Amino acid sequence: MPDHRLTGCRPVPLASYLKALAVLRLVGEQADRSARGFWDGDTFVLRTELDEEALIRFFLHEYEPTPIIAPWNGGSGFYAKDNKDAIERIVGSGTRRLATYRSVIGGAFEILRGRGIEEKVTAEAKATLLEDCRARLPDAALAWLDAAYLITADGAKYPPLLGTGGNDGRLDFTNNFMQRLLDVVDAQSGGPTRNSLSLVRAAFFDEASDEMAGGAIGQFSPSAAGGANAGAGFDGSALINPWDFVLMLEGAAAFAVAAVRRLEHETRGALSYPFTVRPAGVGYASASSADEGASRGEMWLPMWERPATWVEILTLLGEGRARVSGRTARNGVDFARAVATLGVDRGIARFQRYGLQVRNGLAYLATPLERFRVREQPTVRLLDELDAWLDGFRRRATADHAPASARRALGVLEDATVDLCRRGGPDRVQAVLGALGGCERAMARSIRWASDPKTNLSPVPSLSPKWLTEADDGSVELRLATALASVVASHREHYVPVRAHLEPVRMRVHQGRLRVEWSPTADRDVVFSDGDLTASLNAIVARRLILCERWGVDGYPDRSAQPARLADVGAFIEGRTDDARIVALLWGAILIDWARYGQAGFPPLVQGPAPPALYGLLKLCFAGSPAPGDRIPVVPRIHRLAASGDGSEASRAAARRLRASGYEPAVDLVHQAGEPARRAAAAVLFPLDSGALASLRRTVLRPTPQQGVNSP
């Protein structure tokens, strides 16, 4: 069976993709049931027993068109004020090729006469007419009718591919189909018109032809629609190949069965269409949230590389669905997640994503958005942990009167999600984690909106440590952010993680799980500011020292599930870290349920060079006792001095405190001031394990074996 490379049938524009479907459909139904088709790169390949001459002859002499009509629309050719030339020529023809078409048109006129309809129907009468057509027209019309509309309990629903029942504004597809059909098929003889051969070869093999005709093509091929810069001058008229238009609508009819089988009720009477979802203005170069409000939807059109018969492709379209987290994909982001987790029909290699968006004034155009390759990205399944929350956040962040910051945070999250679905990798998991933190931050900054009963948005659900494991790119920033996020102090009924200083939330551990809810009254503990990480960490340390005093705790009570590395702390103090990145990752890492999961699972700690001496003195004053029975009382003044930039006086005070507690510092004075001192004070908040603390003691304190200074 020869392979025909139909270079005129490509994934872009939409008209060309539909043309490829039409060729496979018509050949498979009317000429060669064993014919197969597949995509090779950007070219559709038809494998059939017909050679090239026989293939061309079939379309020129034997192809019987689908009876495409829309008597419910003005301009369809059925009413006195319409252009009736094409419909009258078909009705008056005697060729066998148009016999079915004549029968269906006759049936439609009979329905109109029976209803006494002589002019364009009203909206109320249209509903009845649609039901009559579905019930009374010959079976040959059903494929087109099911593609154009669907009758539900709530009335007729119109799939976005064909506008509102076969028309787009004042452009009626069906009347134009009949006109273009008669441009290539002679109504009387049934043979090809004079220029039909040249045009069909141009349609199939992209050969040059000077026989193009004027006419509208609607949303399906924006470049052929004419307008500004569409010609040699300032403006150009629309020029189309009639075969392109005919096969475009024949391809659209391929979605007919799918429209019936895919009626799923998210809400009563909701319409579901093959590989069609709500728009998401993310994931492509010109993405904008404004595209969502000015769009009929998105279509993700499948491209398969294994040769398949029309029956197989019809099944693919008829059952064409994308599922994510056990449910049907709702929007473009969901669809990308489904592709990345193979929640779509297998055998599809790529998807061509289209947005049916308002462009060029108020006209809808099928805008090609991106080519999405199907490859499994297991890390995308992490999002299943908060699927319900994601859906709720999207609805509320895109609603009227939602804060602009929430809408922006949603856009960043969805863009990062699509990028993760497309490429995977730790850096992209990090981007999604940071974006989730951005959503949390947006809600915290608009706490009245988030906690309002009408909004009823909860904080981001607690995440598993798999997020940090999959996000681990070996970066210092991720390890430091994770160490900070895991810090918690608990005393009797009090449970205060670092998260409490970033946002107004109330937290408690119940049956081993962390419960988090908004608490506007808890904002007294919120001291974190996004602008200056050093100042924010110092503010957190100061606040936690106040809590220690309030609780009547002698020592510093912080503990951590994920200690920091001394080398990483040193990098922070010396300003060799990206503080903005630490902040972004910190907002994401605080979402981990440390009470339940404990450590994040990073590789074993590898200690590097010791941090500056000032930090060593400070940290030992706020790190608890070095040995059982020993005690180093907490003195907040030591931290305040360093946080103000006075490292010299802070080192003197720290040395005195350690000496008074029975430990002999190796140095009494560290000449350090300004930002290095402030960063050393902020670094006190980073938790260390016993090994790191022992290393600090060996560096900062003189050996006193009787007090166990050299022991871990």
Instruction: Encode pLDDT of 534-552 as tens digits.
Output: 999 999 999 988 888 887 7
- Residue at 712 is within a domain: no
In three-state secondary structure terms, 221 is coil
User: How many Å apart are CA 197 and CA 201, to the nearest integer?
Assistant: 6
Alpha helices in 623-700 (DSSP H): 636-643, 647-660, 675-682, 690-700
Is there a single domain that holds both residue 424 and residue 351?
A: no
Is there a single domain that holds both residue 214 and residue 129?
A: yes
- The pLDDT, as a whole number, for residue 263 is 41
Q: Exposure pattern of 530-565 as b/e (b: 16+ CB <10 Å)? A: eeebbebbbbbbebbbebbeeeeeeebbbebbbbbb
Domain with 428 in it: 382-461
Is there a single domain that holds both residue 566 and residue 661?
A: yes
Boundary of a domain, candidates 422, 439, 461: 461
- The pLDDT, as a whole number, for residue 708 is 47
- The pLDDT, as a whole number, for residue 343 is 82
- The pLDDT, as a whole number, for residue 674 is 93
- Residue at 77 is within a domain: no
Total count of domains within the chain: 5
- The pLDDT, as a whole number, for residue 252 is 92
- Residue at 683 is within a domain: yes
- The pLDDT, as a whole number, for residue 347 is 83
- The pLDDT, as a whole number, for residue 259 is 42
**Tokens matching residue 482:** 């994770």
User: How many Å apart are CA 471 and CA 426, to the nearest integer?
Assistant: 4
Is there a single domain that holds both residue 666 and residue 545?
A: yes
- The pLDDT, as a whole number, for residue 138 is 94
Q: Which stretches in the chain have pLDDT values below 50?
A: 229-230, 232, 257-270, 707-712
CB contact at 8 A, 138 and 126: no
CB contact at 8 A, 680 and 672: yes
Is there a single domain that holds both residue 634 and residue 515?
A: yes
CA distances from 580 to 473, 571, 585, 587, 675 (A): 17, 15, 9, 11, 17
- 6 CB neighbour count, 10 Å cutoff: 22
Is there a single domain that holds both residue 39 and residue 186?
A: no
User: How many Å apart are CA 554 and CA 374, to the nearest integer?
Assistant: 59
- Residue at 357 is within a domain: yes
Boundary of a domain, candidates 228, 255, 282: 255
Is there a single domain that holds both residue 320 and residue 401?
A: no
- Residue at 262 is within a domain: no
Beta bridge partners of 44: 6, 39
- The pLDDT, as a whole number, for residue 269 is 39
Is there a single domain that holds both residue 663 and residue 582?
A: yes
Is there a single domain that holds both residue 369 and residue 305?
A: yes
| Chain CA centroid to CA 311, Å | 32
- Residue at 608 is within a domain: yes
- Residue at 311 is within a domain: yes
Is there a single domain that holds both residue 217 and residue 196?
A: yes
Is there a single domain that holds both residue 175 and residue 247?
A: yes
Backbone angles phi, psi at 265, to 5 degrees: -105, 90
- The pLDDT, as a whole number, for residue 605 is 61
Is there a single domain that holds both residue 511 and residue 620?
A: yes
Boundary of a domain, candidates 378, 404, 429: 378
- Residue at 146 is within a domain: yes
